[in-house]
Each structure stands twice: as C-alpha cells, then as structure tokens.
Amino acid sequence: MVKIGDLEIGEFPLLLAPMEDVSDPPFRKICKEGGADIMYTEFISSEGLIRNASKSVQKLDIFEFERPIGIQIFGNNIESMKEATRIATSVKPDIIDINYGCPVKKVTCKGGGAAILQDIPKMVKMTSEIVKSTNLPVTVKTRLGWDEKSKYIVEVAERLQDIGIQAISIHGRTRKQMYKGEANWELIREVKDNPRMKIPVFGNGDVTCPETAKKKKEKYNVDGIMIGRAAIGNPWIFKKIKEFLKSGKLIQEPKINEKIEMVLNHLKWSIDWKGEKLGVLEMRRHYSNYFKDLPKIKHYRSQLVQLNDYNEIVQKIHEIKNIYKNY
C-alpha cells in the first residue's frame, strides 16, 4: 500500500496532474468518477492568495467527493509561500503540494514554478519552511532540471526527502524542453532506485494509454503515475489503466451516448460552480478533446463553441449525438 504520510492511496495510485485552467472542481469530479486516486487543484499563486485575490481564493474550493485532494501552490518568496501554506491548510485539504515544475514563461519569469530549479539551495530552504508551516503532508511536483546541463533530480529528490516532503512527482523533461521531445523516465527510475529514498516517487510524462502505463510501471519501478493532458476529454483513462494493470484487458472505448452524457454533466457542473457565462466560456476548451475521434466533427464543434446560451448548447450537443449515433 502506497502512503503519503499516513494517507493510504492504493497499491499503484493514479494521480490527476494539476493543470492551469483545466483542473477545476468540475474537471476533477469527472476524473474522480473516471478512477483517479488523488486530485490536485490548479496551481495557486502564493502572492495572489496572501492578497486575497478572488481568482486565487476561488481555487481553494475543494469538496468531499474528491478526497484525497491536494492544494498546489507556487511562488518565489519564502515568506509568501509560508503564509500561503497556512491559508491553504486552513481549508483542510489532505495534502499541500509545491509546484516546482511549471515551465510557462509568465510563471518562471517571476521565479516561480520550474525557475526554482536554477537555485537548488533556495528550493531546499523554501521547502523546509513550507513543511514547518503545516501539519499536513507536503509533496512536490518538479522536473528533471532547468536544462540538459542541470538535471540534478536524484540529488534534489533526496535532499527534499531529508527535509520532510512525503512524496515527489517528477515530470521527465527539463524546463527548457517544455512539453517537446520524449519524456526521460530513466532519471525518474534513478530517483526511485536510490537506496536512500523512502518516500513514494510518481512518474509523469507521455502516459497516454494503458499499455504505456504498464510499461512505465514495470520498467521504471515507480510507485504510481501522474496523468495530465491525456485525461482531457478522456477521464476514462484512469479506469482503463487500472483494468489493464489488473487483468491485461482493454476496456472498450466509450460509445457516443456515454461521451455525450459526460459532456453534459461536465457542462452542468461547470455552470453550477462558475455561473453560466464563465461556465459556458471555459467549457469550450474541452469539446475538441471529447469529440476528437469523430470524423468530420470540426464543423459541428465550430458551431458549438460559438454558442453562449446553455439551452442552445445542449440542443447542439444532442444534435451531435444524433449525427454520430452509430459511434
């Protein structure tokens, strides 16, 4: 049984990666129903949180149905990260997660996310202060390094463990790679095989199907797998992986009726949480992923993303359902 602190999370847990503008409560709900074992919020700016910025505070919304749930924070200032940790702890998640992996420029230019990989002593000091600022288990999500010349993840993981983190998730790319090229799981395995490592090590990167998940599990000895982009429009991936690991059998792809039901539920939950205007707007990014395997869908999808009225959207979704009823 894999444990984060005292939290039992399964024999081979599957984690939903935190994704900005994606991993909101409606998306987490569908992934939980799809078999994800651990959920994380979108990353939350420590500066936004301590200044009570509405967008940051809203991301603290967590619900009983999604436990165990981790709140992920990012930032560059140690005192701000400590205060943000205390604020996040107050809403009683199960885990505090630190984002040391986000590669996007708007985050790294301010020293947050993967930028900390350029200053390992500060990374260690910041993590130590965060661990001291909460009674919850602290975990870290990071990358192999800033670039090819600074892939110090084996040493970094060991140092972070020694100051108290309870698990580490590693994306098998450097910051410079962004999401290009193939993820390097060899270094993830080196972290896991380090005899001094006692905490769970989760691998992340390029897991898009059950077969790949099985290969990663067997070849790289990780304690679990974190899945991000492959879950968008495909929340069933977690159940597919679990069944394949258990029996070697592939679950059949969901039929159009099941996909439509999921889309409608996702839309409804999005509106319930954000209100109709924002819920409708932010749902648009998901349609292409839900319907990507349908032939000649681009025309109907283009119509769908131009609609603003909930009832008109539902009507269009049912039209798609009827057009593709044999899929």
- Domain spans, the chain: 3-247, 256-323
Task: Report the pLDDT value the prediction gives residue 80, as an integer from 0 to 100.
Answer: 97
Task: Report the pLDDT value the prediction gives residue 299, as an integer from 0 to 100.
Answer: 87
CA distance 325 to 327: 6
Residues 6+ apart with CB under 8 A from 97: 18, 40, 70, 71, 72, 73, 138, 139, 140, 141
Q: Which residue has better confidence, 310 or 325?
A: 310
Retrieve residue 276's tokens: 């109709």
Task: Report the pLDDT value the prediction gives residue 161, as an integer from 0 to 100.
Answer: 98
Evaluate whether the domain defined by 256-323 bears CATH number 3.30.420.280: no
Identical fold for domains 3-247 and 256-323, yes or no, is: no
Task: Report the pLDDT value the prediction gives residue 245, as an integer from 0 to 100.
Answer: 96
Give the residue-averaged pLDDT of 235-259.
94
Give the residue-averaged pLDDT of 290-295.
89
CATH number assigned to the domain covering 3-247? 3.20.20.70
| Percent of residues, the chain, with pLDDT higher than 90 | 86
| Percent of residues, the chain, with pLDDT higher than 70 | 100
Q: Is the pLDDT of residue 143 over 90?
A: yes
Task: Report the pLDDT value the prediction gives residue 232, as an integer from 0 to 100.
Answer: 94
Region of residue 47 (left: phi > 0; alpha: psi -120 to 50; beta: else): alpha
Q: Is the pLDDT of residue 225 over 90?
A: yes
Tell me which residues are annotated as active site.
102
Q: Is the pLDDT of residue 293 over 90?
A: no
CA distance 21 to 91: 21
* Cα distances (angstroms) measured from residue 311 to each of 264, 273, 318, 320, 325: 11, 17, 11, 14, 21
Where residue 158 falls among pLDDT bands split at 50, 70, 90?
Answer: very high
Where residue 21 falls among pLDDT bands split at 50, 70, 90?
Answer: confident
Span 179-209, pLDDT tens digits: 998 999 999 999 999 999 999 999 999 999 9
Peptide bond into 68 cis (omega under 30): yes
Task: Report the pLDDT value the prediction gives residue 326, as an integer from 0 to 100.
Answer: 83
Where residue 27 falls among pLDDT bands split at 50, 70, 90?
Answer: very high
Q: Is the pLDDT of residue 223 over 90?
A: yes
Q: Is the pLDDT of residue 109 over 90?
A: no
**How far is Cα of residue 318 from the mean position of the Cα atoms in its chain?**
30
CA distance 141 to 155: 15
Task: Report the pLDDT value the prediction gives residue 315, as an integer from 0 to 100.
Answer: 94
CA distance 222 to 197: 12
Give the residue-averaged pLDDT of 9-37.
94
Chain mean pLDDT for the chain? 94
Where residue 62 falls among pLDDT bands split at 50, 70, 90?
Answer: very high
Is residue 176 within 8 A of residue 147, CB to CB? The reply is: yes
Where residue 131 falls among pLDDT bands split at 50, 70, 90?
Answer: very high
Task: Report the pLDDT value the prediction gives residue 195, as an integer from 0 to 100.
Answer: 96
